[in-house]
Amino acid sequence: MNRIVIFMAMSIVLFAATAAMALDSAALVGKWQLVEYAKDADGNNCPYVGKLIEFTAGGKMISANMPAPFKYKVNPTPTEIQGAIARRPDLEGMEIMLAMMGNSQSDWSRAPIIYGVQLKDDQFTLKVSGYTPARFKKLK
């Protein structure tokens, strides 16, 4: 009986810690201005990161360098995260955001675009595999 109580208590603590670390999707909504370019090993700017990115409450990511708005998903399931890290191992240890073209089917386990992300206050970090992290500041 004591083992069950201890297990339940540990499960609750683990769940609370995971929820506290999860990316706050509501805080992500808005326009973000690039303040530090993502670069490849040769110092070239990443063509996949725009100077301005907007995240909508409806789950769209919009940038001038994207052919169309992308659907995005923060806080993917553990299975989706495992699949994403298997395809992009250099993003391990970061929070994962998945993205796909707006008209694509929503099988997030097969999302073609995988970002490593971090959000803290008005600072947003976005990492594309093979590039240094890009850093953004939220516009007011």
**CATH code: domain of residue 104:** 2.40.128
Q: What is the 3-state secondary structure (H, E, C) of 75-108?
A: CCCHHHHHHHHHHCHHHCCCEEEEEEECCCCCCH
Q: Assess if residue 7 is contained within a domain.
A: no
Could you give the number of structural domains in the chain?
1
pLDDT tens, residue order, the chain (140 aa) = 554 433 333 333 333 333 334 678 889 999 999 999 999 999 999 998 999 999 999 999 999 888 889 999 999 999 999 999 999 999 999 999 999 986 656 789 889 999 999 999 999 999 999 999 999 999 98
- DSSP 8-state code for residue 69: P
Rounded to two decimals, what is the model's pTM?
0.79
Q: Assess if residue 115 is contained within a domain.
A: yes
* Tokens coding 51: 């100077």
Are 95 and 62 in contact by the 8 Å Cβ rule? The answer is: no
Q: Assess if residue 9 is contained within a domain.
A: no
Q: Assess if residue 87 is contained within a domain.
A: yes
